[in-house]
Amino acid sequence: MSLHGDYDSQNIFAKIIRGEAPCYKVYEDDDVLAFLDVFPQSFGHTLVIPKRAAARNLLEVDADSLTKVITVVQMLTKVLVAELQPAGVQVAQFNGAPAGQTVFHLHMHIVPRFEGEALAVHAGGKAEPEALAALQARIVARLAA
């Protein structure tokens, strides 16, 4: 897909927002949803998406929605760093298939980076549901503390 086109309301993230597809939710408010990536590149890989903006990428999102998303990205990055103690953290956002975008609903990746561990191939392997549920519980508990 190119950078330009029509928003597909049947994409997996739109379905997650509507409750038609499951996710390992770690945060939600009226405007933003964050959940664990089921095909993580690293332990703790989290996705943050706008709920109200039908934007395929950064070029299409309104400034208010983008502000709300990046505010949650910063907050969750702090939580992930505190909980998982990575050596670093990568925040990424891709626009168009040639840039690596695979779901055409604006989303940001928070990817904890651990010393001596290479990133897994994007969408290369699915995480175990038990591991995702346990990590989800840890992050939600830290947010509630």
Question: What phi and psi values does residue 59 have, to the nearest 5 degrees?
Answer: -70, -20
Active-site residues: which are they? 107
- CA-CA distance, 96 to 4, in Å (whole number)? 8
Contact 64, 92 (CB under 8 A): no
Could you tell me how far CA 23 lies from the centroid of its own chain?
11
